[in-house]
Amino acid sequence: MSRRLVVLAAALLGLGASPVAAQEPTPAIPAVEATPPMPGTESETERNRRVVTAFAELFWNQRDVRQAFETHVREDYIQHNPLAPDGRAPAISALSGFFAASPTLSYEIHRIIVDGNLAAVHTRMRRNTEDRGFAVVDIFRLEDGLIVEHWDVIQEVPEQSANPHPMF
C-alpha cells in the first residue's frame, strides 16, 4: 500500500495529518470547577474513559466501524480533520470498507488519557509487520456519554531518532 494511500486512509479515519495553515486562533478552554461525584456514582471522567475504551475496542480491535459509531458517536459529530466529513453517517460511509481493503493494517493502543469531557488515544498504526508505522493521537470531546468532536495528529516513526526515547 503506498504511503499516499495510507495517509488518505488515515485522514478518512480521522487520523490524517492536517497541514499547518493560517487559521483563526483557537479560544482558550475556560476553567471548569470540578464537582465531586455522589457516592456510588460514576464520575464524568470515569464514564468517558469507559466510552472511549469501548469505542477503541470496537473500532480499532474488532474493526466494527458501524457499531462503534452508532453506539458511541453523536449524529452531529464534528470532525476537525480537513480531509474527513462531519457527521456520524458520513464517517460510517467513508470508513465502512476501509479495514477490509487494508487487511494488514494494524493498530496498537498504547494509552488512553481522559480528563473530564476530553479524551486522547495514543496508538501506533502500521501498514504491515515490516512498517515502522505512525504515531497517532486522536483527541475526542464527549457530551452526555457520546463522542461529539474529534481532532487528530499523526507522525511517521523515523528510521533513526536523535534521542534514545521511544515514541511509544
| Residue 41, pLDDT score | 77
Share of the chain above pLDDT 70, in %: 76
* Predicted local distance difference test score (pLDDT) of residue 35: 58
| Residue linked to cell 479515519 | 13
Its CATH class, for the domain covering 3-16+42-156, is alpha beta
- Residue 156, burial from CB neighbour count under 10 angstroms (0-12, 13-18, 19+): middle
Of 24-33, 60-69, 122-131, 154-163, minimum mean pLDDT range:
24-33
pLDDT in the model for residue 22: 40
pLDDT at 98: 86
**φ, ψ (nearest 5 deg) of residue 95:** -100, -10
Q: How far apart are CA 105 and CA 164, in angstroms?
A: 27
Chain segment 6-34, per-residue pLDDT in tens: 444 454 454 433 333 344 455 555 554 55
How far is residue 48's CA from residue 56's CA, in Å, rounded to a whole number?
12
Domain residue ranges of the chain, discontinuous segments joined by +: 3-16+42-156
In this structure, what are the phi and psi dihedrals at residue 144, rounded to the nearest 5 degrees?
50, 40
Q: What share of the chain is helix, strand, coil (3-state, %, to 5)?
A: 30, 30, 45
d(CA 157, CA 168): 10
Contact present, 127 and 101 (Cβ < 8 Å): no
Taking the C-alpha atoms of residue 114 and residue 140, their distance in angstroms, rounded to an integer, is 9
pTM: predicted TM-score of the whole model, two decimal places: 0.76
pLDDT class for 99, splitting at 50, 70, 90? confident
pLDDT (tens digit per residue) in 49-87: 999 999 999 999 999 999 999 999 999 999 999 989 999
- Rounded Cα distance between 134 and 107, Å, is 10
